[in-house]
Amino acid sequence: MAGMTPPVRVLVVDDDALVRAGLTMMLDGAPGITVVGEAADGDEVPAMADAHAPDVVLMDLRMPRVDGLTATRRLRARQRPPEVIVLTTFDTDENILYALRAGASGFLLKDTPPARIAEAVRQVAAGEPILSPRVTRRLMDRARVHAGAHARARAALAALSPRERDVAVAIAQGRSNTEIAGALNMTLATVKSHVSHILTKLDLDNRTQVALLAHDAGLA
C-alpha cells in the first residue's frame, strides 16, 4: 500500500544449515522484516549482496573459507554498504573488538531470544547500533587500552570541535540522538549534523566505532 514503510531486507550468513533455516523462519515471521537470501560462507556474500541488496546482514564469525570479519570488512568497503550484525557463539574480547572495528553495527550471541534478534535488525536498519548485554559488560570491564592506542585515540578526537567532542562522549555513553539532544540542549537536527561531521572527520563508518574511540581515549 502507498505510504507503507518497506520491510527491512535481511541476508543470513552462517555455515550451519540448521541455524540459517531457523533464523530465516524466525525473521520472515517478524513484522517489518523479510529475508532476501542465505549464504553458507563469507565468500558468497558479495554476490548475494549484489543480487539482493540487503539492508542488514546477519553474519556468523567462523566459516570455512572466508570468515565473518573478512566478509564484514569487504561489505563495509562498498559504496553503499549494508549494516552488519555479527551473530556468534564466540564472545571473546578479541572477536567483539575486531568485529566492531571491521564496521559491524552490532554484536549478538546466538542464545539471544528470537524477538530480541528481530528488534536488533530493525534497530540497526534505523541507524542505531546494538550489543547484547553480556557483550556490553565485557567491553565495560575490559582493561584500559595500551598507552599507544590511548594516545592515538586522543589525537584523533582532537580534530573535533568542543561540541562534537561532547556528542562523541554521549555516543560512547550509549545515548540515542534524542537523549543527546536533551542532555546537550540541542535540536535533534543539530545532533544528527554533529554525528555526520564526527564520522566524516574521524573517517569512521558508524556510531559504535565512535564509542570505541572515545573509550580508547578514556573519555567515557
pTM (2 decimals)? Answer: 0.67
SS3 category, 38: strand
- Determine the Cα–Cα distance for residues 92 and 85; give it in Å rounded to an integer: 16
Distance separating the N- and C-terminal Cα atoms of the chain: 45
130-139 residue pLDDT tens: 877 777 666 6
Q: With a cut of 70, say whether residue 142 has pLDDT above it.
A: no
Residues 14, 101, 192, 188: is their CA dihedral positive or negative? positive
- Which is more confidently placed, 144 or 164? 164
DSSP 116-160: HHHHHHHHHHTT--EE-HHHHHHHHHSPPPPHHHHHHHHHHHTTS
Listed by start position, the domains of the chain span 8-140, 147-216
8-140 and 147-216 in the same fold:
no
CATH topology of domain 8-140: Rossmann fold (3.40.50)
- Which is more confidently placed, 73 or 96? 73
Q: Which residues contact 142 (CB under 8 A, 6 or more apart)?
A: 93
50-83 residue pLDDT tens: 999 999 999 999 999 999 999 999 998 888 899 9
For the chain, give the percent of residues with pLDDT over 70. 91
Q: Give the CATH number of domain 147-216.
A: 1.10.10.10
pLDDT confidence of residue 150: 77
Q: With a cut of 80, say whether residue 2 has pLDDT above it.
A: no
- Determine the Cα–Cα distance for residues 92 and 76; give it in Å rounded to an integer: 22
Average pLDDT of the segment spanning 12-38: 94
Q: Which of 146, 117, 114 has its CA nearest to residue 131?
A: 117
Beta strands in the chain (DSSP E): 8-13, 33-39, 56-59, 83-88, 106-109, 130-131
pLDDT confidence of residue 144: 47
